[in-house]
Every structure is written in C-alpha cells, then in structure tokens.
Structure 1
C-alpha cells in the first residue's frame, strides 16, 4: 500500500489520495488496459482543486455554495481512496495466490470480474470528478474570503473590561505574578524581566494579565497593553505599543517595521516601562515584537500571555501555567452569574448544578457561558437540557458564540495535520482516559502520520501528541519522567471538536439506544456507545458500507463484516462482552490495520487472522487467549504486538514477523521459552521489547 502523506482536516482526505494515485502510476498495477490513463486524469484534476481545498480548510465561515462544493469533493475523495485500496488489495491477494507466476499474473487478472467492477467504479467516479471540477471553475475564489472577518468583534475584548467585583479565584494568581515580576529595584531586579502566563483559551489569562497591569502600571514611566491576533500585523502592533507609551508624535504613517522598532527603542532606552503582549501565538511574532523592547537596566517588565507552553518558554524562563478554578470557586462564579448570589437556594434543581460545573472543569469561559444561558432560569427541565448538551452539542447554540469563537481561534491556529489528530479524539466519550500508545497507533492506521526523516511513524506521532499538550488542547495524564502516558480532553473542548467532526463528516457518534444514522453522506468513522444489556444490530444500511473506523464502548454490537469493507481500525478494547463468535470472520477485513480486543470471554484468535495482510497493530491484552495461532507469521506488516505475559507463541513464529517494532510483553516462564529469545536477533526493526 502507498504511504500516506501528512494530512489536514478538510485536506485530510485529498493528500493521501493524491499520494496513492501518484504511487499507483509508478507501479505495475496500472499496466491494465485503460487504467493508467484513468488514474492520471484523476490525479491531475484533483491536484488542480487541492489548493482551493486547502484555502477552505483555513476559512472559518463559508457560504452555502462553497460548503456544498467542499463536502462533495471530500466525499468523492473518500470514495476514490476506498476504490483504489480495494483494487490494490485484490491484486495483492491474487499475486499471493499465484506466487511464482508473476509474469503471467496480469494476463489472468484481466479476465477477473473484480477488474471490471473496479474499472466501472473508476469510470463513475471520473464522471463525478469532472462535474465537481467544472463547478470549481465556475466559482469565484474571492468568495473564500470571510466577508465578516474585517468587521467582527474580537471575542477577547470583554476580558479587558471585566468588572473586578465579578471575578472569582483571581487573587492568588495575581499575587504570584507580581512576585515573579520582582517589583523591587535592587540588584538583578533592575534587569528587564519577562513573565509569561500560559494556559488554554478561556482560562482567564487576559483577565489576569489586565488585573496585574492595572495594579502596578503607576510604578512605571511608560505602560502599554497590546493584544495580538492569530494572524498579526506586526506594524499595527508596534503602533499600538507606541500609542500606549505615548510616543505617537515621533511616528509617521510612512514608517516601516524597522523604523518603528528603532523609534520605540530610542524612546524607551531611558525609561522604566511595563508592556503586556496579550495572546502571543508563535515564536516568530514574539521575536519581532521583542526587538522594540530594550533591556535598559531600569527595572522594566514585560508580561506575555499565550495558549502554548512552548511559546511561553520562548518568551521567558519565568512561566506561570494558569490552573483551572477550584470547584468551590467555580460554584461561587456560577451562581453569582446565574442568580446574582453565590449560594444556591433552589433545592428543586438537585445535583444538576454540580454536574454542570464538573463538566465545565473549572474553565471560567465555560462557566460564564453556561451560567449566562441559565440566568434566571428556574425550570429543572431546562437545566437538564443544558447538562445533556455539554460535551456534544453546546457549541452549536447561538448563545455560546463568544465561547465558540475563542475555541475556534485555538483550533484554526493548529497546523492541518494536528487538526486531524485532534478531531479524531471525538471518538472518545467524556472523561475518558486515552492511552497514548493506543491513540498513536490508531493515528498511524488511519494514515494521519507521515514518517519523517530520522523518525519512525510512532516517534512522529509522539511529537504530535506532545504538541497538542503544549497547545493546551489536551490534558496530560500519568506524567512520568516528563512524559504523559495518557491524556484527557476537557469537556468543553470535546464539545467543540465533536461538533466540528460532525460538520466535516469526520466522525459519526451513535447512541446504541437509537442506532439510526440520518446523515446525507456515508459514515466514514463510527463511534457507538452501547451501555444497554441487549445486543444492537448495525450495518443494515448502505450508509454504513464504507466505514473506515469502528469504536464500540459498552456491550457488543452486532454488525456484518463485509469482505469489501474499507475498515482500517476496529477498536473493541472497551467492549468487555465480546466473545469468540463475534470475531470468527475477522479475516474478511482485508484492509484492517489496527485491531484491539479486551474481553475475558475471548479465548482464542481465529486462524483466519493471518489473512489480515495490512495489519500493523494487534492488541489482545485483557483477553484469556492462551496461545496465538501459527498464522500470525503471515502478518508481514505487523509492527506493534501487545499480549499478556502468559500468552504462548508457537515455536519458531516470533522470528518470522519481520516488521515487528514493538512487543509487549513477552513472558518467559520456562526454559524452552527462554531459548526462543534467540529468535529476536532476526527482528532487525525491533525497538521495544518488554519481557516478564
């Protein structure tokens, strides 16, 4: 199979598809009559439309016409990739069957019915590509510009004018920031000092910085508070600093960035100043801005705020990582905003307020938003409705636009490939602890990670994982030696990415109590929550025929495993009721790359598991499998194998799984098993081996 390229969200389907089409043209697959010409046409047409798709991916609001075109192209790309994967898998399967007869193979292949089926599919898809391309040419690309972007109000503006009497839990952080600034003027404190406040969007960084600024600015000769946008105009920022420090009389409209920097440095060189640079998004922006702020040994101070820990450390060695509000402070803020009083005197609401606050997770922006929805609302049914919306659909409501806008700023600042990885987390339910190892292997199986020079795919995935932590988009869990072994997603961020994933037809979440999907598009990734006792049947509809990923939480879900399925990921690690008969036909999933099972009712893997020629990750920890089948030696793409220490391997099998990079955990309970360790010398790609 062709390796996947680095992907984005809307572009996430297109780039791996173009990569596969290009690779296909280089291989013998396209020696079949007519196929090469068709593939080349598809690649060229889709390549011409790809730049537009990338622009769309960075546009926060689209008109209905462009949204429809984007969605049409996305679904078309999905169908094309599925068609190509099915074609390559069938060819590879036949090549294996006729091993030793390669020269005559393609002649025989022409006679196969499958070849004609694929050719017909490609022809139909080609017609769709032509139609989509014509529509693309008719559109004016100027429509991609967000017409409202120039006149929209910065959603952070309210934080600059927050009434101090309404603030809760801010005194201790304010005191700590002032202590870090070392306001006394003796010794080393006369040096320029920079303190950076870091934390996710909506945590109150701007409010805290503004409060500190107002409290101490009178101790300085010059003072300025400047906000930076996600796509900043450095010249405007420098002019705003000049306005704050009252030196506009030396600034002209013709001054470029270098002239402005020189004039600001000249003005500040003999003055004690404090400047707050609010919401710095990247190291490059800070690198330009700091040029205008000289170290004049007069006790000057700079405060920066940022959503990225990496950027914070670039700005300063003094980093204050802002924490969420305590539950008690959250409660005080919530009731003060909702009812004007810090104490709840409405017993009929029962424990619903506490449940809402736990979902808000101490995030002031979320608490203020939700309390605003519930201001002077006393009906318990309305409170229940809001509680149920948090984590799945709150971001869609009109009265949460400010919160959604702030979260959107963080989301659209993320590179395309990280957006895809972040959206993928929407397959997990609220408060779920997501194991890093499992998550990265799933990213790899989905084609979200591209192996970079000097790093394998897993190492690249770890870098993505850590980047999302540094950007405050996920919360680290089980940190050991500075590395998180797992993560969680804040309920409010999860709510946002679930809405985004649904909008992009990226992930479809179903409650098994109502296993009906009404999407106008085919489901591509499916998450099923089934905590009912009874079995639920899916796959009864064509809309579920091309699912690439299935994740089930709770009780087993009955579904038909079609030989032609596009399924790449089957995650059943949280489906504890699985039994042997549920996986009896697993070998039909010829495109499967990731399989995880964890049930005490699974006693064996079927022999047909050896048919999974593309399987990269096999995880059977938590089952009661005693011995792996001999057919696992056929899994020549298997890179990650996770078993319990009491699982036995058939003699001589381990040394034949040549792609193995990671094995956890190999149990040595007898002399014979100890002898088999010699087989590991054949595994030249093995980087991790855990022995017990």
Structure 2
C-alpha cells in the first residue's frame, strides 16, 4: 500500500518542479534531491511491505516512509499556500502604499522559501536515517518471504493448492453452470479448445472446476487429467513439472529437475500427442501464463480440453482462438440461504430469532459463496447468544476465521498498479451499499491528482482505462449502463471492507463516526481524507486534510470557521438532498482561498468563484450571474438557465466539453442565441431545450459534438434540415420533435450515428427520414 502513496508523492514532486517552477525557484534543487531520495526508497518498499506482516521492525520502517511521503506533500502544498498563488495587490491603493505592500510581500516570500528549504532538508535527513536503519538492522534479511513453507506467502500458496484439489460433497448454485460446461467438455468437437470460468475471488470458480474435473463421465472420457494452480507469482518450469506429475506421466524426478523449459515442453507435448486429455489451470492472473504453456499441449483432433479459472476478464476472453467464456453469477437469495443453512444450524436449534439474524448476515454476503461458507462454518461453532456479536462485525470475523478469505482479498489488492491501488482505496469513501456514479468517481479521482493525462489526452478520458481495469479484475460490478457507458457500479461488501481497512491503515481515508466514537485521535492526526455520514456538525478538523466527503441528510452547512481550517483541501464533496435546508446564499467566501481546491459543486455562486483557476466541473441549478469567463480549465457546466448563459462570454471556455442549458422561465427563451454555442470548439455533449429557431445549421458545424440532447419541446418550428456534411462525429441523438412536420436529413449527414431516440406527439405526422432507417430508432409517444 505504501508504495502507492510514495509513487503518488514522487509524481507530484515532478509536477511541482515543472508546473510551479515560478513559485519554487529558490527550492527547486532541494525538491529534486528529495524526489531522488524517495525514488530510491521505492526500490525497497514493495519487498518490505511483503515482509512487514511477520516483522514489527519492518512494519515500523514502512510506516515511517509513509509519514515522510505525507509530510513531503504537506510541505510543498503549504509553501504554495504561503507564497499566495494568485496573491494580488489592490489596484485602488496609492503608489507608495503599493510599493510598501510589495516590499513586505517579497520579504515574507523569502522567509517562507527559507522555511520550506529547511523543512525539505529535514525530510531528506529523515530518509537518510531510514536508509541507515535498514542497513544497521539488516532489514533486507528479516522476515524473508521467498518461496518456501517457512514463510507466510509459501504457506498461503500451499494452502491454495490443497484447497483447490479438495472435492466438496455438495455444491449449491452451480447446477446450471455445471450442466452447460459439462456439455462443452463432452460435445462432439475434435479440436482442442479452452473453457474460461470468470468471476471475482470467492465466487466459486475453483469449486465449479473441481465439480467438472471429478465428474464420472469426464473421468471416463479423458485418458489423461491434470490440475495445476498458478496464482500471481509463477515460474513456467515449475508449472510444467507439476503438470507432468499431475498427469501421472512416467518420469524420473531427478530427470525432471534437470530439464529446462524447452525440454519440459517437448517432453509433455510428446507424452500427450496420441491421447485425449483435460487440464485445469486454476487461478490465472496473466495472459502470458497460458501462452507460456499452450505449446506444450498438442491439438491432435481427439477432443482434448483446457479449463482456465480467472478473475481477470482479459485473461478469460483472450486465452485462445477457440475459447468459451463462462461468467459466474452471484448466488440468488434462496441458494445463499440453502448453502448457509446446511452448515450453520448443524449444532444449533433453529428458531425465529436465530433465523432472522442468519438471514440478515447472509444478505450481507451478497451472494458470494466463499463468504457464505466461511460464515456458516463460523456460526456453527458459536452459541446462539453469540450470533449477534458476529453480525455486528461480520467481515472482521470472516477474515479472522478464514485465512483463505484474507488470502483471496490480499491477492486482489496486491496485484494492482499503484494508480489502481489508489483508485480502489478511494472506493472506501462511499457508504455501504452505495450505487456509485462512475462519472462522479472519475471526476473525484482526477481532482485528487491520482490520475493524470499524458500528451494529447483529455484528463477525464484517462480514468476510463482504470475503470475498465477494475471491472476487468472483478473488483467492481456494473450496476447500470447508459449511452453505451457504465453509468453506475457497486462494490461487494467484502471488497469494500478490504478497501476501508487498508485505507484506514494507510491514513488514506477515515470514517468520521469511527473517529468521533474513539478516544484515540492520534492515530488519525495525519488523516488525508474524511468521510462523514449522518452528522449534525463537523467538529474534528485535521489541518492537513485533502478531501472532505459529506454524505448526510442533516449536517449543517460549512461555516467560514470550518473552511479556515482546511486550506490544503483539494476536494469538497457534498451530497445533499432536496429535503435538506441549506442556505446556498451563505456559501462561505473562505472557500475561494483554498488554492488547491480542484472540484466544487454548488448553486448560487459568489464572484470569487472566478479565482478557482483549476475548477473543472460546475454542477448545480444556475439562474443568476455566472462568473466563469476566466475558468479556462472548466470541462463541465450543468445546469445553466438561458438568461445566465446569455451573459457569459464563452470565448475563453476553450476546454468546455459538456454543457446543459435549461429554460426556467418564458423570459429565458428570448435570451438565448446559438452564436455563443458555435464558439465552443471543444464541446462534446450538449443538452438544451425550448428553441424558436432551427438549431441544426449551427449545431451541425460543431466538429467535436458526440452527444446531442434536445429536450422537451426542443424546437417549435415546422421544418428542420441536416445538411450532408453536418454532425461528423455525432454518435447519439435524443430529440423531442413535438410540432415538427418535416425533417430532412441529407445523404452523408450524421455519418457515424449509432443511436436515435425521438419523442413526438400522438397525432404527429412526422416520418423518420430514410437516412436514419437503418439505425435502431426509438419513437416515444
């Protein structure tokens, strides 16, 4: 985990040197040296983190690195704050007063730079001290975690192999899956092909594979059968030797140890050449694992089969040119209860109260078989009066009771890149059972600086790959899809709990309620993010907070005093409800002094909002003045009235990509002009309503437009025309054509259009243009 934090800080140090050179010119050399020191520390962190489980000295060493990384970030952010990015003189003051003021600023700036320099020197000394301790205490040699049964990782790998091969007597919930896949194994297809079983950790991939592997008909059909568990850390030579042994092929152990990879491949290939075989390759994490093995398995047109189990979508889908992917589902409530009941009530008398507790806990398992099996086994050893204790801390009990649960979860996390680790930990900000808006999550991640753009990339498009990777690894599940994109997702409670525990351990995110109910505030003194739920008042205010998330129906709005304590804030997230009495006119002016604030969501805007130069998304119901002309980094504006938008000069909004304009009054309709829209060269998503003129001549010239939504009574005219060269990139069109009598779409217009949704009155005689006839057109009346 700490590797993710250090890598993030190293990246930010590089950004500081490049982007803030003007402010940090006097300390640039020190920052470069500090960055270099941290980069050297990175070389040892990953290995140290693996060892820290068993060695308290290493655990302390890793914790100290984390604190240095956080303190480094604090020093640089505080320096920028003191130097007053955007600090300006009052243009109305006199000349002599201006010179005096300027002189004071420069003197203070030198003091601040000197102070920053000394703090960076101290940080470097702390790193040097850690390096000395690492050598003095021989920490590299402590808690060795190399392959073997004498260490934790070796034991876990051996446990995985043993568990993978144990045959379970009764498998619930896989009857249909087993029937489908058994048919695939036995079908009359001579060519060898791969069956990939896909699903998140604990969903039962291995269990299903075992059921197939030991099926009597399968045993009879395949003369040779082998099973090998791969996991993340594998060696091809070791896998080949274990496969040969599992097949029962005659061999000398000594001869096998002497053979290199090429010899082992040839030996296995020749041994299977004239025989039908089934091999199960369990727990595959990389596509390269099967690629390194496949040439050892001949295709002799005798119906041989390969089963791969994986939680990685890409591995499942790209394993072979002849491949059947079978994605496992979560258990239904009735299946979950049946699986739970068979073991949980083995030693207890079932009564109404106990069953109610049981059903509540089973529901928390979310249909995950492993969680249900471990829970039922745990409760079978508990007295009835102890069940509610398990219920109160269900996930902690599951992890403590089953090393296999902890192993599966830790594998899911440790295999991620440091950017993905940060993204996954970030999921812990959301309350339990939340339906997470992907668009919102992406904006938050960008605002935090966890994801950055490479050359010629739009920052908000970069996280799409991270979103896909979390889905690919079964760490999040798709909940809703809209416009062909994932709109919302959910995190299984077991994985959310993993994110929450690791985030807390790292001081990455803390839950306010947990802090408020604890007397140990010191553990959260360096807390970076605070997630608050169901609070009336925010009384705990660590000064180094970078993000605050307010999920509540009853908290009071932030005051000036609150904001003064959060000067380093990057993200302020407020999830409000319509029933919440919030006075937006009293939005604290102190927020405009938070120079690091990257994301904001409010309604009635003060003029000082124009100072937030890094603001990227502005979402609310804006009916008054919009002082946004200078926000050149603004990407999203929702939802402005016609009157508000009419007073905006859009020429400087060069990066605006999404715009929603609504009519809140009859007066608004007369204020709107499409001339302003035509100046938005980067606009990709446009939603608008209540137009008097044909919008197409102006809109079709927008080269970047991808999604166009003309809302209720979009256009009151009789005729609308789209010319042959219009809408070159438009993919989605949603339009209300109430009253329209003629719509002309010339050949060549909307050349890449994928979907159209048209609303019109019941008595409308409008015919959909032939040009759109080949598309999937939805007509709503």
Are positions 1:119 and 2:114 aligned together?
yes
Please give the per-residue CA displacement for 1:510-566, whole angstroms capped at 9, x wherever unaligned: 228936662433110110111x5xx22324x5xx11111111111225651027611
Are positions 1:401 and 2:403 aligned together?
yes
CA contact (8 A) 2:515 2:521 kept: no
CA contact (8 A) 1:156 1:406 kept: no
What's the counterpart of residue 631 of structure 1? 627
Please give the per-residue CA displacement for 1:435-490, whole angstroms capped at 9, x wherever unaligned: 01000011101111121355322221011111111110001011246532111000
SS in 2 for 1:506: coil
* Structure 2 unmatched runs, 5+: 146-150, 690-781
Please give the per-residue CA displacement for 1:58-113, whole angstroms capped at 9, x wherever unaligned: 667362222222222222222322332343355463465599x9xx9998586343
Taking the TM superposition and a 5 Å limit, the aligned residue runs for 1:602-613 are: 604-613=604-613
Aligned residue among 320, 327, 338 for 1:332: 338
Aligned residue among 638, 663, 686 for 2:659: 663
Is the alpha carbon distance of 1:266 and 1:415 closer, same or farther for their aligned partners in structure 2, counting shifts above 3 Å? same
**In 2, Cα distance between equivalents of 1:647 and 1:63:** 65
Are positions 1:78 and 2:70 aligned together?
yes
Aligned residue among 21, 25, 34 for 1:27: 21
**In 2, Cα distance between equivalents of 1:28 and 1:243:** 65
Is the alpha carbon distance of 1:308 and 1:384 closer, same or farther for their aligned partners in structure 2, counting shifts above 3 Å? same
Are positions 1:357 and 2:354 aligned together?
no
Shift of 1:414: 1.7
Alignment length (residue pairs):
656
Taking the TM superposition and a 5 Å limit, the aligned residue runs for 1:184-333 are: 184-185=187-188, 189-215=189-215, 216-249=218-251, 252-316=256-320, 317-333=323-339
CA contact (8 A) 2:10 2:38 kept: no
Shift of 1:116: 2.0
What's the counterpart of residue 728 of structure 2? none
CA contact (8 A) 1:226 1:276 kept: yes
What's the counterpart of residue 130 of structure 1? 125
Shift of 1:376: 4.0
CA contact (8 A) 1:339 1:376 kept: no
TM-score normalised over the length of structure 1: 0.87
Aligned residue among 647, 651, 674 for 1:651: 647
What's the counterpart of residue 59 of structure 2? 67
TM-score normalised over the length of structure 2: 0.78
CA contact (8 A) 1:563 1:590 kept: no
Please give the per-residue CA displacement for 1:101-150, whole angstroms capped at 9, x wherever unaligned: 9xx99985863435524532441342143023222233133347434323
What's the counterpart of residue 489 of structure 1? 491
Are positions 1:348 and 2:353 aligned together?
yes
What's the counterpart of residue 387 of structure 1? 391
Bigger radius of gyration: 2
Taking the TM superposition and a 5 Å limit, the aligned residue runs for 1:271-670 are: 271-316=275-320, 317-340=323-346, 345-349=350-354, 351-380=356-385, 382-390=386-394, 393-394=396-397, 398-453=400-455, 455-480=457-482, 483-511=485-513, 514=516, 518-520=521-523, 521-530=525-534, 535-539=536-540, 541=541, 544-554=542-552, 555-557=554-556, 560-562=562-564, 565-574=567-576, 577=580, 578-580=582-584, 583-585=587-589, 586-597=591-602, 604-620=604-620, 625-627=622-624, 629-643=625-639, 648-649=644-645, 651-665=647-661, 670=668
**In 1, Cα distance between equivalents of 2:469 and 2:544:** 31
Bigger relative contact order, structure 1 or 2 (CA pairs below 8 A, ≥6 apart): 1
Shift of 1:495: 1.0
CA contact (8 A) 1:510 1:529 kept: yes
CA contact (8 A) 1:655 1:680 kept: no
SS in 2 for 1:418: helix
**In 2, Cα distance between equivalents of 1:62 and 1:415:** 23
Is the alpha carbon distance of 1:76 and 1:108 closer, same or farther for their aligned partners in structure 2, counting shifts above 3 Å? farther
SS in 2 for 1:295: coil
* Structure 1 unmatched runs, 5+: 1-6
Shift of 1:351: 2.6
Shift of 1:652: 3.0
**In 1, Cα distance between equivalents of 2:643 and 2:365:** 43
**In 1, Cα distance between equivalents of 2:200 and 2:183:** 23
**In 2, Cα distance between equivalents of 1:97 and 1:664:** 36
CA contact (8 A) 2:615 2:631 kept: yes
- TM-align CA RMSD: 3.1
SS in 2 for 1:486: strand
SS in 1 for 2:367: coil
SS in 2 for 1:276: strand
What's the counterpart of residue 4 of structure 1? none
